[in-house]
Amino acid sequence: MSASLEDALVAARDDEHLRLLAIFHYVLAAFTALFALLPTLHLLMGIGMLSGHLSPGDSDARFVGGILVGIALVFILGGLGMAALLAWTGRNLSKRRHHLACLIVAGLCCAIAPFGTVLGVCSLIVLLRPAVKARFATA
């Protein structure tokens, strides 16, 4: 097999891997955003406790309501932020931009077990190939 044909096959393989990684980043971003909204019930309960509608005149309930609101907001905003990062990385993989940022998000993605771990490891394997890094540099 000639060197130019082999290079073309490697480039086509890398393009296909990057396209699949971009799609999987979008899918994981959607699931992450969906699961990030699960603590909304805790947020609403905490707001009800803070406002005094659930237990009027009880200062302990207001304290617990504040804790519920704080924790729920941290989880919701953190999850939606991670979902936005995943979607942005999917876009960058499609456009072949921000190689280092894609590597960083792939590492962060490993914390979202189990699917994020698989996607993060596969992303790191693909993004660390010298040919893929060169494709990001030329784009």
Number of domains composing the chain? 1
On average, the pLDDT of the chain sits at 94
More confident residue, 139 or 18: 18
pLDDT of 27 strictly over 80: yes
Residue 121's pLDDT band (cuts 50, 70, 90): very high
**Which pTM value belongs to this model?**
0.89
CB 92 within 8 A of CB 123: no
Q: What is the number of residues in the chain?
A: 139
Q: Regarding predicted confidence, which is higher, 68 or 6?
A: 68
Supply 29's token pair: 């971003």
- Least confident residue range of 23-27, 36-40, 55-59, 73-77: 55-59
Question: Six-digit token pair at 30?
Answer: 């959607």
The answer to whether residue 88 scores a pLDDT higher than 80 is: yes
Residue-number span of the structural domain to which 49 is assigned:
3-138
59 pLDDT band, cuts 50/70/90, is confident
Task: Choose among 38, 39, 28: nearest CA to 109.
Answer: 28
Cis peptide before 39 (omega within 30 of 0): no
**Alpha carbon distance, N-terminus to C-terminus of the chain:** 28
| Band of residue 58 on the pLDDT scale cut at 50, 70, 90 | confident
The pLDDT of residue 1 is above 70? no
